[in-house]
Amino acid sequence: MKPRPYVLAETNWNTVREHAYEVAILPWGATEAHNYHLPYATDIIQSEHIAAESAGRAWEAGARVVALPCIPFGVNTGQLDIRLDINMSPSTQFAVLRDIVQSLARQGIPKLLILNGHGGNDFRQMIRELTVEFARPFVCTVNWYRMLDLGEYFDEPGDHAGEMETSNMMFIAPDLVLPLEQAGRGTARAFRLQALRDGWAWAQRTWSSVTDDTGVGNPALASTGKGQRHLDAVCDRIGSFLVELAEADLDDLYE
Is the pLDDT score of 1 beyond 90? no
| Residue pLDDT, tens place only, 20-69 | 999 999 999 999 999 999 999 999 999 999 999 999 999 999 999 999 99
Tell me what the pLDDT averaged over the chain comes to. Answer: 97
Q: 54, exposed or middle or buried, with CB in 10 Å at 0-12, 13-18, 19+?
A: buried
- The domains of the chain are located at 13-247
Nearest residue to 119 (alpha-carbon basis) of 78, 153, 91: 78
pTM of this prediction exceeds 0.85: yes
In angstroms, rounded to a whole number, what is the distance separating the alpha carbons of residues 64 and 23?
7
| Beta-sheet strands, E only, within the chain | 23-28, 65-67, 111-116, 138-143
Choices 3.50.50.60, 2.70.210.12, 3.40.50.10310, 3.40.190.10: CATH for 13-247:
3.40.50.10310
Nearest residue to 77 (alpha-carbon basis) of 87, 63, 69, 90: 87
Q: Read off φ and ψ for residue 160, nearest 5 degrees.
A: -155, 115
- The answer for residues whose C-beta is within 8 angstroms of residue 14's C-beta and 6 or more apart is none
CA distances from 117 to 165, 166, 200, 249 (A): 11, 14, 23, 27
At 207 the pLDDT is 94
For CA atoms 193, 199, 200, 202, give the dihedral sign. positive
